[in-house]
Structure 1
């Protein structure tokens, strides 16, 4: 018989799994964690440590907020992704993609990458100012990649009990570049310094647009969650906002009123940062539930992987 604590842990794990993996969670988990086959990355590789850590939740929110500031990337998301009509479906597809390309059998990961490339070829349009965009545009793909990897790394370094060392952080960026290359991004960043340079290069292109502000409202004010689940989500969101660059918070309107602006940094560190830590540790506690497929004995045996070079 489960103890009350074990029962609470299992319930939280199932709630997270239902949102992130969806109704087909068992099949997806088996295809990623339990299916036989060589993996591209070993379990102690930096990419597995970062992208298997609970910090991905706050990191993912930060990435979405940051990515929304590029008007052409946001136009494509707004018109084609269905993030408002089917937000959980989009999250589930993104989660499956990240998990499969990081932890899944290499052959299955390659098939998924091919599928994503085919989808990207069908997505194009123009923003409100008539500027054309295409989901297969290497420049836009590079923006999405650098904003995402920077967010995942920043969140991991903040919330992990054992952050990556500088050489490990460089290795993470390098390992993440494989998927970027397969998605059509020429010469993606391979070190933390290159990642920072790549991110800064997009700064002149970032704008406050109605689409970006809609993402803020949707994610931070009107998340598609029952009220009982919102406090936990808002803890993660507070952490995500604290981790954003200052210019991104300014463009998104995520700052204190002008008379209190001088206290903003201290307030974020004193309030938002600890909330993010509590939320992330609660997620990590749930993800450690022994009933989860990723923690099953069979999965741990398969995780003794043969890294591909």
Structure 2
């Protein structure tokens, strides 16, 4: 049993960070640097990003992002997400942690790498009105959709399965707007009300849609190539992500909350239990947090 648990823990860490060890190579950089960075312990961003519900938030944001045809075209045309889905996850995790826990220089460097990767992601897609349009991954409006779906998803899943946020939801939206600005998003929302309003506008203007390509992508997100040890827990967390979606998005994605006939399954309770086990396996503080605290102590920042 002990061997089984160690193997499960190693596979969990490998999936989330790209490394089965306690300290991914990229997190070591967060002990370096000459300034406190954009966010400090006690901030809303540290509270939200330090919680395991971010796993559900990541699934939720991917589901929402598939609804924008230009974003989905970029993923399908320029990435090997089917063959390297776990690598993409680890790289995204590294970027989020760089902005959350790294120095200002590290956060800017990590963002610059993402922007450079996006420079070659260009092409054409068919819009909802049937016309052929151009897209670019560095287009501010596409980046805006990715930013607001990410922010909304991480906020929503934290509200459902974690504790209070220092300063409340508005503080998280306001603080994480810095990530949007670094990526080139103009005037990102800085309150929960503004975030909700923007999401409603995206839905109302008819940009979002579900087609065969979206359905294929959703099917992949539902059943990614995870290690067999992780699949039972992932199924619970996927259903939790579906539960956390607004009904309009579930309808667009062709998804339903889990049930047996007319009886809903206790997905929220199952997700809470699964996340508790994940938190136990990962430990009370992430390697990124520990490295950041090392840098802050060196700088005399409490």
Matched with 2:185 is 185
Contact 1:159 1:277 in 2 (8 A): yes
Matched with 2:199 is 199
Contact 2:243 2:257 in 1 (8 A): no
Contact 2:8 2:230 in 1 (8 A): no
Matched with 1:271 is 266
Q: Is the partner of 2:226 in helix, strand or coil?
A: coil
**In the alignment, does 2:120 pair up with 1:122?**
yes
Write the distance in 2 (CA, Å) between the matches of 1:295 and 1:126.
40
Matched with 2:228 is 227
The range that moved more, 169-178 or 17-26, is 17-26
CA, structure 1 residues 90+184, in 2 after alignment: closer, same or farther (shift >3 Å)? same
The range that moved more, 203-212 or 16-25, is 16-25
Contact 1:82 1:90 in 2 (8 A): no
Matched with 1:37 is 34
Q: Where does the alignment leave 5 or more consecutive residues of structure 2 unmatched?
A: none
Q: Could you tell me how far 1:289 is from its partner in structure 2?
A: 6.1
Q: Is the partner of 2:26 in helix, strand or coil?
A: helix
Q: Which string of whole-angstrom CA distances, capped at 9 and with x for unpartnered residues, describes residues 40-93 of structure 1?
A: 211110001101110100010000001111111111111123211210111111
Q: Is the partner of 1:42 in helix, strand or coil?
A: coil
TM-score w.r.t. the length of structure 2 is: 0.87
Contact 1:138 1:186 in 2 (8 A): yes
The range that moved more, 151-160 or 119-128, is 119-128
CA, structure 1 residues 99+169, in 2 after alignment: closer, same or farther (shift >3 Å)? same
Matched with 1:142 is 144
TM-score w.r.t. the length of structure 1 is: 0.85
Write the distance in 1 (CA, Å) between the matches of 2:211 and 2:300.
43
Write the distance in 2 (CA, Å) between the matches of 1:127 and 1:83.
18
Write the distance in 2 (CA, Å) between the matches of 1:114 and 1:295.
22
Write the distance in 1 (CA, Å) between the matches of 2:196 and 2:39.
24
The range that moved more, 63-72 or 16-25, is 16-25
The range that moved more, 89-98 or 277-286, is 277-286
Q: Where does the alignment leave 5 or more consecutive residues of structure 1 unmatched?
A: none
Q: Which string of whole-angstrom CA distances, capped at 9 and with x for unpartnered residues, describes residues 91-116 of structure 1?
A: 11101000111111221111111222
CA, structure 1 residues 76+286, in 2 after alignment: closer, same or farther (shift >3 Å)? same
CA, structure 1 residues 36+134, in 2 after alignment: closer, same or farther (shift >3 Å)? closer
Matched with 1:70 is 68
Contact 1:236 1:276 in 2 (8 A): yes
Matched with 2:52 is 54
Contact 2:56 2:241 in 1 (8 A): yes
Q: Which string of whole-angstrom CA distances, capped at 9 and with x for unpartnered residues, describes residues 142-189 of structure 1?
A: 1111011000000011111x2226x42111111111111111111100
Residue 22 of structure 1 is aligned with which of 18, 21, 24?
18
Q: Could you tell me how far 1:14 is from its partner in structure 2?
A: 2.4
Write the distance in 2 (CA, Å) between the matches of 1:63 and 1:137.
19
CA, structure 1 residues 106+217, in 2 after alignment: closer, same or farther (shift >3 Å)? same
Write the distance in 2 (CA, Å) between the matches of 1:95 and 1:255.
28
- How many residue pairs match? The answer is 291
